[in-house]
């Protein structure tokens, strides 16, 4: 990591918005181009890059960067793009399911079930032990690999795997009634 990176990260951590804005102006076009190559959707690429910068600024005091700042942001954009692609696969699966239902439209019962599903998800998430919840969110919300989570939390990869297994088991159990069969 360069001295310039260290100084820039220190300034951002201390809330110096001008330094953050300069970083944004420098890297935003290249990061958008990178995300565009992965997603093939310019609007979504920009949205992901903006979200990465937003999250970095919002969590600036807690973020630990061991590589260069540029590498960190590229990795964050990469992970966010992959997470978005995975999410779109799930969305497409459910869209296909609803296109083939007899009703052919989004009924009030579907709306109720969607609300129930979201409530069940949030309830299950809140019931997880804190470490388990943090590990699950780092994996699913931020797209971090198990090794990255282990490094950031200073725990073993086996602990990450065990906690993810516990979280996924809890979700499978609590959301089983909403599962769509292929």
HSE-up of residue 83 (Cα within 13 Å, Cβ side):
18
Give the contacts of 136 (CB within 8 A, at least 6 positions apart): 125, 128, 163, 164, 167, 168
Question: Which residue would you say has higher pLDDT here, 7 or 120?
Answer: 7
Residue 105 has pLDDT above 70, yes or no: no
Domain end (from 71, 100, 129)? 100
Residue 39 domain boundaries: 1-100
Structure confidence at residue 30 (pLDDT): 93
Residues 68 and 124 in one domain: no
Domain-terminating residue out of 100, 133, 155: 100
Q: For the CA atoms of the chain, what is the radius of gyration?
A: 19
pLDDT tens figures, 19-36: 999 999 999 999 999 999
Largest CA distance in the chain: 63
Could you say which of 100, 121, 153 is where a domain stops?
100
Q: Are residues 4 and 78 in the same domain?
A: yes
Q: In percent, how much of the chain has pLDDT > 90?
A: 48
How many independent structural domains does the chain possess? Answer: 2
Averaged pLDDT of the chain: 85
Query: HEC states along the chain?
Result: CCHHHHHHHHHHHCCCHHHHHHHHHHHHHHHHHHHHHHHCCHHHHHHHHHHHHHHHHHCCCCCCCCCCHHHHHHHHHHHHHHHHHHHHHHHHHHHHHHHCCCCCCCCHHHHHHHHHHHHHHHHHHHHCCHHHHHHHHHHHCCCCCHHHHHHHHCCCHHHHHHHHHHHHHHHHHHHHHHCCCC
Residues 140, 96 share a domain: no
Q: How high is the pLDDT of residue 97?
A: 63
pLDDT tens-digit map of 70-90: 999 999 999 999 999 888 888
What pLDDT was estimated at residue 174?
84
What mean pLDDT do residues 7-20 have? 92
Specify the pLDDT at position 119: 81
More confident residue, 145 or 104: 145
């Amino acid at each position: 990591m360069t001295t310039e990176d260290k100084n820039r990260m220190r300034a951002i951590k201390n809330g110096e918005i001008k330094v953050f804005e300069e970083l944004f102006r420098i890297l935003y076009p290249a990061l958008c181009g990178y995300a565009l190559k992965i997603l093939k959707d310019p609007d979504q690429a920009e949205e992901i890059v903006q979200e990465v910068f937003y999250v970095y600024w919002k969590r600036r005091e807690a973020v630990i960067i061991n590589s260069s700042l540029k590498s960190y942001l590229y990795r964050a954009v990469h992970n966010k793009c992959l997470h978005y692609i995975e999410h779109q696969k799930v969305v497409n699966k459910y869209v296909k399911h609803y296109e083939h239902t007899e009703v052919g439209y989004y009924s009030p019962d579907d709306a109720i079930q969607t609300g129930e599903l979201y409530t069940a998800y949030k309830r299950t998430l809140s019931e997880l032990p804190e470490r388990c919840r943090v590990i699950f969110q780092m994996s699913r919300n931020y797209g971090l690999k198990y090794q990255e989570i282990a490094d950031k939390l200073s725990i073993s990869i086996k602990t990450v795997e065990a906690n993810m297994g516990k979280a996924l088991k809890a979700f499978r159990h609590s959301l089983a009634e909403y599962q769509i069969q292929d």
